[in-house]
Every structure is written in C-alpha cells, then in structure tokens.
Amino acid sequence: MVEQVSLYRAPTTEADADALADWLSDRIGATVTVRDRFCSLYADDSLAEEFAETRVLSPHDRETGNTMLGIVRYEERALDDPERAGGVLYDGLGVQKRLGTRLPEDERGLDHAHIILTSRVLGTWGDHDGRWHKRVNVLGQPALVSVPGLYEAPAKPEAYYKEKQKHAMLSGGAPPREVLEEQVEGDFLVEDDPRTTDVLNGYVLQAVHYLDTGEAFCEQEHCRLANPHRQPGVIEAQLREPEFCERHTSLYGTD
C-alpha cells in the first residue's frame, strides 16, 4: 500500500501543488508532501541530453531522439527556464524511466508514490494505429502529470477547431476565450484555464490508485478515475457530481 506521496511542483502556476495535496490527503490514507520542482531537485549534467533522447521526431515515427548539440542546448535552457519550453512532444515512458533513475534510492519502493507535475507535453506510442498519442498522465513510478497535456490530449469539440481556423485566417491569431465560449457548444479547457487544478485532482489520484491496485482507469465515465478521450468528458468526470462511481466512492468518498 502507498503510505507516502511526494508531489513535485509544476513550473507553471495554474497547477497548484498545495491545493492538489490537500484534496488528495482528504481522500487517501497516505501522508502527502509537496516538494519543489523535480528537475530543480534532481537534474544533473546528463539530464538535458536524456530529454533530447526522448523527443518525438514525427507523429508517425516510433523512433525518438535528437541529441545534436543545438537540441541539447535547448534542453539545457528548458531545464533552467521551464516556462519557455514548449512545442515539443516527449516519449512519456522514456521520460518516466530517466527521471525514475534519479529518485532517491531509499524512496523507490511502491509504498512511496512520486508524482511529478510537468509542463512538458507527453505522449505514448499506439501500437494499434502506429502513431503517438498525447497523454494527461503517465502512470507508474514515478507518475507524470502533464499540465499542457490536459489542454491538448483530450480532443476539443469539432466546432472549436473550426472557429480557431476561421479566426486565424482573419486575424492571424488564436481567438480569445470569450469568442470560443460563445461560439462553441460543449465545455472544454483552454490553456491556463482557472479550473486546471480542480480537474487535475482526479489525474493525481489515478497515480496513487494505480500503484495500490494495478488498475489504470475506471470504466465509469462520470468517475474521477475515468480516462475520457474528449474534453466534455473530462469536465463531466472531473467537475460534475458525483465525484466517483459507487465502487470508488467506497475507497475515496469523503462523506
């Protein structure tokens, strides 16, 4: 059983690690502690190059990695100033493996869950369709939770993409949130959405649940442990009542 959870802060402020830890503490028996950003604690001289090794090169190419000097330099800057990194997709399992080797040796047991909030966009390779799929979280030890993954991985309503395209042709930029909310039916999250932390609660709990039970996701679409592929489903699972399905209410319910 997980007895201790270490939650590592995100570089961005939309994901509030302290609030996530409070929410989690109310629902599990383990002790939850917030730690500083993982890479600020455990980065070493080879980490930048290791991130470069996990870069996805093309959406349909399983091979990863570009360790040319310029790329490694970019990754060094991204580690120093994570807010500036962006536009790159990384192999989530590759990143997980490399960060896992940096966990303190006496904390690697499955009684101590490490959950890393990150501003990197992560993907996993789909053997069934031969392409990379963006992910909100990568379960395991350590677990990774991608803040931009929350906005990018679950698909937005079709009308959103149409509206975005229309706006780009007229003004060259992304449409403001008010325009999108007015024109697009169905709820979805946009970058820096004020609901980010609340929505991430369920994804952080999934990491603990997986270590405890080996169960990845819940089949019930209204449960916080579900894994919806579309944004309206994410809102439904994470923000609407009830919080959990019956089975998971018995484990994590607060009433």
Residues that bind Zn ion (CB under 5 A): 218, 220, 223, 225, 245, 248
Minimum CB distance to Zn ion smaller for 112 or for 209: 209
Minimum CB distance to Zn ion smaller for 37 or for 248: 248
Minimum CB distance to Zn ion smaller for 144 or for 225: 225
Q: How many residues would you count in the chain?
A: 255
CB of 213 to Zn ion, least distance (A): 11
Q: How far apart are CA 183 and CA 180, in angstroms?
A: 5
CB of 100 to Zn ion, least distance (A): 27
Q: How far apart are CA 24 and CA 55, in angstroms?
A: 31
Minimum CB distance to Zn ion smaller for 80 or for 215: 215
Q: How far apart are CA 3 and CA 43, in angstroms?
A: 26
Minimum CB distance to Zn ion smaller for 7 or for 223: 223
Can you give 206-226 as a three-state secondary structure string?
HHHHHHHHCCCCECCCCCCCE
CB of 247 to Zn ion, least distance (A): 6
CB of 150 to Zn ion, least distance (A): 19
Q: How far apart are CA 225 and CA 217, in angstroms?
A: 6
Say how many C-beta atoms besides its own lie within 10 A of residue 183's C-beta. 15
DSSP 8-state class, residue 254: -
CB of 31 to Zn ion, least distance (A): 24
Q: How far apart are CA 118 and CA 115, in angstroms?
A: 10
Say how many C-beta atoms besides its own lie within 10 A of residue 120's C-beta. 23
Minimum CB distance to Zn ion smaller for 177 or for 247: 247
CB of 138 to Zn ion, least distance (A): 20
Picking from 92, 185, 76, 192, the residue whose alpha carbon sits closest to that of residue 132 is 92
Across-strand partners of 121? 89
Q: Check: CB of residue 101 under 8 Å from CB of residue 69.
A: no
